[in-house]
Amino acid sequence: MNLYENDILQVNDLIYKIHTIPDLNEMRRTLLNLLQIMIPCDPITFYLNGGDNYMSDPILIGLPEEAAKDYMEHLADIDYKKWIFQSGQNRVCRMTDFYPQGEREALPYYQEAFVKYNIHYETIMSLSYDHRFLGVVSLYRGPDKEDFSDRDVFILNLLVDHLAYRLHLDETKPAGTSVAKSGSLTDDSIDSFCFRHNLTRRESEILKLMTQNRQSNDICDELSISMSTLRKHTGSIYKKLNITNRVDLNRLISLEK
C-alpha cells in the first residue's frame, strides 16, 4: 500500500504525539482529532478497558454523552465486537470484512447503537498488550458515505502497536509520574546539539520546531517553505542523526540532554 508524502509526515507526527504527550487523556483527544483529518469519519470514539473487558473513560467526538452512557450500561454486553476484545489481539478490524452485507444490520447491537445515530460503517483499533485488552478506538461513517478504504486500514495498522504500547506504559507507570516527557531543549542546548551533529542553519530551525511538538504543516507555515522542502530537510536531519522518525529523534535528544 503506497502512501502520499503528506500521509507519511502525518503518521510520523501522530506516532510522535502518542509517545510524547504526557497526559493520557490529552494524547487521546489529540489522536482522535488528527485521525479525523487523516481518515475522514464522524463520529470517532476512544474507550479504555475498565476491567473484565468492559469499557470506561470514554472520549467521544461527534456523539452525545448519552451515547457513552448507553453503551457502558446497556449495549456493551451485546456488542458484536466483544470477541475481538476478549481475544487479546492487538489489531485493526474493518467490520465489513467480518460480516456479510445484511448480517450485521440484523444484529440487536446494530439496531440499538448504530441506527439511532445514523452510523453504518465501522473500523476499530482493538488495543492489547501481552494479550491484555487495554482499549479501543472506533471510527464510524454514515450509510451515505463509502466504507473505510485499504489506505485507511493501512494507516491505522501503522499506529496500533505504538498506541497499545503507550496504554501499557501508562497502566504500569508508578503513581504521580509521567510516561512521556517532551525532550525539549533550551536554545543553547539546541545550538550545541545541532553543532555536534553538523546540522545546517535551516535544519537547526526545523529541528527546534520539531522539539516543540509542532506539526509539519505548522513548520511549513512558520518557515514559509513547502511540504516537499520540509521533507527534504527532515530526511537530511534523520540521515545525519542516523534515525528514521520523530520518536527516534525524541529519544536521541533525551539521551544527549
Q: Are residues 157 and 57 in the same domain?
A: yes
Domain CATH number, residue 48: 3.30.450.40
> CA dist 31 to 38, 59, 184, Å?
10, 11, 21
Q: Residue 184 has what pLDDT?
A: 47
Q: Residue 179 has what pLDDT?
A: 55
Q: Are residues 143 and 219 in the same domain?
A: no
Q: Residue 188 has what pLDDT?
A: 66
Total structural domains in the chain? 2
Distance in angstroms (rounded) separating the CA atoms of residues 80 and 143: 19
Q: Are residues 90 and 198 in the same domain?
A: no
Instruction: Give which of 61, 11, 5, 15 is closest to 38, Cα–Cα.
Output: 11
Q: Are residues 77 and 103 in the same domain?
A: yes
Q: Classify 257 as helix, strand or coil.
A: coil
Q: Are residues 144 and 22 in the same domain?
A: yes
Q: Are residues 45 and 161 in the same domain?
A: yes
Is a pLDDT exceeding 60 seen at residue 65? yes
Q: Are residues 117 and 222 in the same domain?
A: no
Q: Classify 194 as helix, strand or coil.
A: helix
Q: Residue 4 has what pLDDT?
A: 82
Q: Are residues 138 and 241 in the same domain?
A: no
Residue 62, C-alpha cell as written in the block: 461527534
The share of the chain scoring above pLDDT 90, in percent, equals: 58
Q: Which domain holds residue 223?
A: 187-256
Distance in angstroms (rounded) separating the CA atoms of residues 5 and 235: 12
CB crowding 191-224: b at 16 or more within 10 Å, else e: eebbeebebeebbbbbbbbbbebbbbeebbeeee
Is a pLDDT exceeding 70 seen at residue 174? no
- The answer, as to whether pTM is greater than 0.85, is no
Q: Which 8-state DSSP code applies to residue 148?
A: P
Mean pLDDT of 124-132: 95
